[in-house]
Copies of this chain bind each other. A is one copy, B any other.
Amino acid sequence: MNRNFLYLTRAGIDTHQEPVVYMREDCHVCHSEGFDAQGRVEVCTGQTSIIATLNIVTGDFLSHEKAALSEAAWRLLGASEGDKAFFRHAPPVDSMSVVRGKLYGKTISAEGAHSIISDISQGRYSDIQMSAYVTACAANNLNLAETIAITRAMVDVGRRFEWGKGRIIVDKHCVGGLPGNRTTPIVVAIVAANGLVMPKTSSRAITSPAGTADTMETLTHVRLAFDQMRAVVEQQGACLAWGGSVSLSPTDDVIIRVERALDLDSEGQLVASVISKKVAAGSTHVLIDIPVGATAKVRSTALANTLADRLRQTGEALGLTINVLFSNGSQPVGRGIGPALEAADLLAVLRNEPGAPADLRERSLTLAAALLEMGGLGSADHCLQLAQQTLDSGAAWNKFEAICLAQGALKKLPVAAFTHDIVAARAGVIAMINNRVMSRLASLAGAPSSPAAGVYLHVSVGDVVEPGSVLMTLHAEAAGELEYALDFYQSHPDVVHIEAEIV
């Protein structure tokens, strides 16, 4: 008879993705199992089991008969209040031997990749183990075969859309790093208005002030379940959903979070992340935009070429047609940086408003045209004309509206309660805008968790300013956040770099 059980309760503690179980140090299970703080523990209910990290409760807030679960553990286990759970030392995670092998110079085989990704998808890796995996794959440490194996494994552990054999399904991805570069909703509208199928899923921001999903969430519902997303695409030919809600390549978020915490890029892992989500979305033809610039994510053409090759080869190995496009990554795109501010920009472009940012419009047209061409709608020139017509005629706006309504709403944008203008201290020409510092400024103002927050840019590179010209307006939902962003600006006044003009 196994008496090693406790009744489950919800701790009300959010530890992000790491499942944590809280237990009293003097409870009978801790004692009889010899559990220690930070040990890995298997939690089994009748139906299912998870591995969680143990935090020992030395205070009085938990009963001896109970074990509390963090939000992640609660979710993963599908627990209900009062469920009976059994506990034991977690068995070693076998696939960690593949990670150790990699460190000793072995390559990761297809089976090895599958076992690692499968264990990660079941939450069997602790943060410490996740970090070791990410570190082992970091730098340029994955070869093409390994990258392909990991990509395939990432697809296999998630759900996958099928849109019918032989159909062309288009998709796009931007490698990122440019604040305000919110072309996707415009591109989707143009492409779908021309009859192509584009089941677009996007991510939320990780360290940036807005992901496409954050921006779209200020306009419509983006948390679509798998079947909802299918229905929207079947009705409208496209959607603008959050990828996290449809379980495509579910390990991706977990891996990315650790990469960000380490500020560590892995080219192989980046490629696997992008390609696996496209394959899972059922895409066949994918356009990849790599902005290249000194303060963008990809800093040189040489690096962009290597990345493009790897993306193309991996995509092709998984049956995709990949086109890559390098774009100018020298400064932010549009005026707004932050979910609602970026949404305002893209609405202005879609509605052909007079003040609509021309750079956002141009970028969107270029990408849409390339996708129309990949979709077989004619030559490059013809497709560019087609894209322009679609936008100018209002057909793209109509399609966008229809997609939003199919997803459940077209919402009114939120407005920030606090704003503050930042002005030029001296006369000159705007010589540079630092993408990275600008992103951080918008984040500190509260974006994306405060959707109305961010930065509104009044200038672009090349503009001439006088002392007192407004450079940008900070938007915040709370006074404290505004202050915080201002503090940061004061220590980084050069985010918009003004060079005195030589007379």
Tell me the A residues contacting B by CB distance below 8 Å. 3-4, 10-18, 22, 25, 28, 31-34, 36-38, 40, 55-61, 70-71, 92, 96, 100, 103-105, 126-132, 134-136, 138-139, 141, 257-258, 261-264, 443-444, 446, 449-450, 478-481, 483-484
What B residues does A28 contact at CB under 8 A? 480
What B residues does A15 contact at CB under 8 A? 37-38, 55
Cross-chain pairs A/B with CB under 8 angstroms, 23 sampled: A12-B59, A13-B55, A13-B59, A14-B25, A14-B37, A31-B478, A32-B481, A32-B484, A33-B480, A34-B446, A55-B70, A96-B262, A100-B263, A100-B264, A103-B141, A103-B264, A105-B139, A127-B127, A128-B262, A131-B131, A131-B135, A132-B134, A132-B264
**Complex CA distance for A484 and B139, rounded to whole angstroms:** 44
Question: With A37-B14, A59-B13, A131-B132 given, is the CB distance from A261 to B126 under 8 Å?
Answer: yes
Question: With A34-B449, A127-B127 given, is the CB distance from A59 to B135 under 8 Å?
Answer: no
Partner of A3, one of B33, B262, B263, B480: B480
Question: With A34-B449, A127-B128, A130-B128 given, is the CB distance from A103 to B13 under 8 Å?
Answer: no
What B residues does A449 contact at CB under 8 A? 34, 36
Are A258 and B128 touching (Cβ within 8 A)?
yes
Partner of A58, one of B57, B71, B92: B71
Which 4 residue pairs spanning A and B have beta carbons closest together? A12-B59, A32-B480, A131-B131, A16-B38
Among residues of B, the one whose C-beta sits closest to the C-beta of A13 is B55
**Complex CA distance for A443 and B96, rounded to whole angstroms:** 22
What B residues does A96 contact at CB under 8 A? 262-263
**Complex CA distance for A303 and B132, rounded to whole angstroms:** 24
What B residues does A131 contact at CB under 8 A? 127-129, 131-132, 135
Nearest-Cβ distance from residue A416 to partner chain B, whole angstroms: 14
**Complex CA distance for A135 and B483, rounded to whole angstroms:** 39
Nearest-Cβ distance from residue A177 to partner chain B, whole angstroms: 18
Nearest-Cβ distance from residue A169 to partner chain B, whole angstroms: 34
Chain B CB within 10 Å, residue with most, of A22, A40, A129, A130: A129
6 extra A-B contacts, CB within 8 A, seeds A10-B59, A11-B59, A129-B261: A16-B37, A58-B71, A103-B139, A127-B127, A128-B128, A131-B132
Nearest-Cβ distance from residue A10 to partner chain B, whole angstroms: 7
Among residues of B, the one whose C-beta sits closest to the C-beta of A261 is B128
Are A132 and B135 touching (Cβ within 8 A)?
yes
Partner of A56, one of B14, B25, B444, B481: B14
Are B4 and A480 touching (Cβ within 8 A)?
yes
**Complex CA distance for A37 and B3, rounded to whole angstroms:** 34
Question: With A32-B478, A127-B127 given, is the CB distance from A61 to B135 under 8 Å?
Answer: no
Nearest-Cβ distance from residue A146 to partner chain B, whole angstroms: 16
Are A481 and B264 touching (Cβ within 8 A)?
no
Partner of A135, one of B17, B31, B70, B136: B136
Among residues of B, the one whose C-beta sits closest to the C-beta of A32 is B480
**Complex CA distance for A408 and B301, rounded to whole angstroms:** 70
Are A138 and B103 touching (Cβ within 8 A)?
yes
What B residues does A261 contact at CB under 8 A? 38, 40, 126, 128-129
Among residues of B, the one whose C-beta sits closest to the C-beta of A131 is B131
Question: With A261-B126, A261-B128 given, is the CB distance from A36 to B12 under 8 Å?
Answer: no
Partner of A13, one of B40, B57, B450: B57
Chain B CB within 10 Å, residue with most, of A12, A13, A33, A480: A13
**Complex CA distance for A14 and B59, rounded to whole angstroms:** 9
Nearest-Cβ distance from residue A67 to partner chain B, whole angstroms: 13
